[in-house]
Amino acid sequence: MKKLATMIAALAIGGTVHAAPVPAAKQELVNRVLQLWHPESIGESMLQAPVGDAVQQARAVLQGRVSPEKRDAALKEIVADARQFMDQNKPLAQASAQKLVGTTVAPLLAERFTDDELRQIITILESPVKKKFEAMVPELQKKLGEGVAADTRAVMDPKLQELQQRIGMRLRSAVTP
């Protein structure tokens, strides 16, 4: 009955169901992959991108147009608004992804991977080495970022300042009557 409901739901959202019902053992493997992978985080990522872009655009617009004190105060408020927006809307995006994963991602996993391949994916996702590496990624990114910044600062800072000035001039000419 649940498989029939899944097929009907897939048809209702515009999908087509071509595959035969997934055997229970394979569906359990697919479910385990989904549990370990956390695809609901995709909804949050999709929400973060435009919010981050909006904050970056605001920062660019304010740069050079207002005093540093006003700029910093405005950015502080903008960032607070962005965080509040994320806090309020993240649950909706995550719930939507969670709701749709069974009719979008799960059938693809079942169709394109064998039982043995799904077991291998599970082994990878459960790997203590993978978890250790993922826990270390922020530190690795920070160290690399610091190194790149130090290595390129002398060359990049003047170029970035020039770019910011050009953008500021373009913004001023665009908004000046």
What averages of pLDDT result for each successive group of 10 residues across the chain (177 residues)?
A: 40 46 95 90 87 89 84 90 93 89 93 97 96 92 86 86 79 72
Distance CA 174, CA 57 (A): 15
**Residue ranges making up the domain that contains 163:** 127-177
Residue 157 and residue 90 share a domain = no
The overall pTM is greater than 0.85: no
- Beta-carbon contacts of 103 under 8 Å, excluding residues fewer than 6 positions away, are 6, 9, 10, 13, 15
Residue 41 token pair: 């985080």
- The confidence score (pLDDT) of residue 26 equals 96
- The confidence score (pLDDT) of residue 76 equals 92
Q: How many domains does the chain have?
A: 2
Distance CA 102, CA 30 (A): 10
Residue ending a domain, among 102, 124, 146, is 124
The sign of the dihedral angle between the CA atoms of 55, 51, 34, 16 is negative
- The confidence score (pLDDT) of residue 149 equals 83
Residue 138 and residue 120 share a domain = no
Residue ending a domain, among 103, 124, 145, is 124
Residue 55 and residue 12 share a domain = yes
